[in-house]
Amino acid sequence: MENLTFDLAKSSLRELNQLLHKDAKDGKLGKVTVLNPDGAHNIAVGLDCPVEVEVQGHAGYYVGGMNKIATITVMGSAGTGVGENMMSGKVHVKGFASNGAGASAHGGLLVIDGDAGLRCGISLKGGDIVVGGSVGSFSAFMAQAGRMVICGDAGDALGDSLYEAVLYVRGNIKTLGSDAQIEPMSQADLDTVADLLAQAGLKHDPKGFKRIASKRELYHWNVDANQEY
Per-residue pLDDT band at 226 (split at 50, 70, 90): low
Q: Is residue 178 part of a domain?
A: yes
**pLDDT at res. 121:** 98
Residue 119 belongs to some domain of the structure: yes
- Residue 166: domain span: 40-217
Helix extents (H) in 160-204 = 187-200
228 vs 39, more confident: 39
Q: Is residue 224 domain-resident?
A: no
- Please check whether residue 1 lies inside any domain of the structure: no
| Mean residue pLDDT across the chain | 95
CA 198 centroid distance within chain: 16
Residue type, 197: L
Residue 77 lies in a domain: yes
pLDDT digits (tens, 9 = 90+) for 3-32: 999 999 999 999 999 999 998 888 888 999
CATH number of residue 70's parent domain = 2.160.20.60
Q: What is the pLDDT of residue 227?
A: 57
Domain-located, residue 17 = no
Residue 200 placed within a domain: yes
What average pLDDT does this structure show over 192-196? 98
Q: Report residue 179's pLDDT band, with 50, 70 and 90 as the boundaries.
A: very high
The total number of structural domains that make up the chain: 1
pTM comes to 0.95
Residue 24 covered by a domain: no
Angle at CA of residue 129, ends 218 and 80, nearest 5°: 90
Residue 25 has a pLDDT of 82
